[in-house]
């Protein structure tokens, strides 16, 4: 999922080819995307644990139990979608804010400084989204 999102943002750059060439800058950004998605998914998995706990208390086959599990899984899917959308949006906004730098061309050249900047933005966005997902979990379950 993360690799597909990155492919949509970079446009005409072949990410797999860059990674195969050993482009460290691309590797840093791809790793940041994977970490970002994992951070958000972790929050969703916590929600599933809470949902299963509540479902067990009500009875797994009861209506309340099924609703608790359904809400927990919906929250996980929502978290993944929000993470992907936020990463996509953050990278596009970063590209617009840094007019003098073509981030993706710099990545193609192997510019590690730009890769670290992008990785920081991606992970920061994920941490913000994670706390939002945690709030959704607390409210819904």
Phi, psi of 13 (to 5 degrees): -90, 135
Average pLDDT over residues 5-10: 69
Q: Are the C-beta atoms of residues 6 and 29 closer than 8 Å to each other? A: yes
Distances (CA, A) of 89 to 48, 54, 56, 94: 27, 35, 38, 9
Using the 8-state DSSP alphabet, how is residue 59 labeled? -
- Asked if the model's pLDDT at residue 136 lies above 70, the reply is no
Round to whole Å and give the CA distance between 126 and 34.
10
Give the CB-side neighbour count of residue 7, counting CA atoms within 13 A: 9
Average pLDDT over residues 20-44: 88
Mean per-residue pLDDT over the chain, rounded: 83
96 pLDDT band, cuts 50/70/90, is: confident
pTM of the complete model beyond 0.85: no
Q: What are the residue ranges spanned by the domains of the chain?
A: 2-140
- Residue with more model confidence, 109 or 91: 109
Amino acid 52: pLDDT: 82
Average pLDDT over residues 30-55: 82
Q: Are the C-beta atoms of residues 132 and 42 closer than 8 Å to each other? A: no
Round to whole Å and give the CA distance between 10 and 30.
11
Round to whole Å and give the CA distance between 73 and 47.
8
């Amino acid at each position: 999922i993360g690799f597909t999102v990155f492919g949509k943002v970079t446009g005409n750059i072949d990410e797999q080819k860059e990674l195969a060439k050993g482009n460290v800058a691309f590797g840093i950004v791809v790793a940041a995307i994977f970490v970002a998605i994992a951070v958000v998914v972790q929050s969703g998995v916590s929600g599933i644990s809470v949902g299963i706990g509540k479902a067990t208390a009500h009875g797994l086959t009861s209506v309340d139990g099924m609703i608790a599990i359904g809400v927990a899984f919906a929250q996980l899917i929502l978290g993944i979608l929000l993470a992907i959308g936020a990463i996509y949006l953050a990278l596009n906004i970063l590209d617009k804010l840094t007019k003098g730098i073509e981030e993706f061309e710099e990545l193609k050249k192997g510019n590690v400084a730009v890769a670290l900047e992008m990785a920081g933005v991606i992970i920061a966005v994920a941490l913000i989204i994670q706390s939002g997902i945690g709030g959704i979990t607390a409210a819904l379950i």
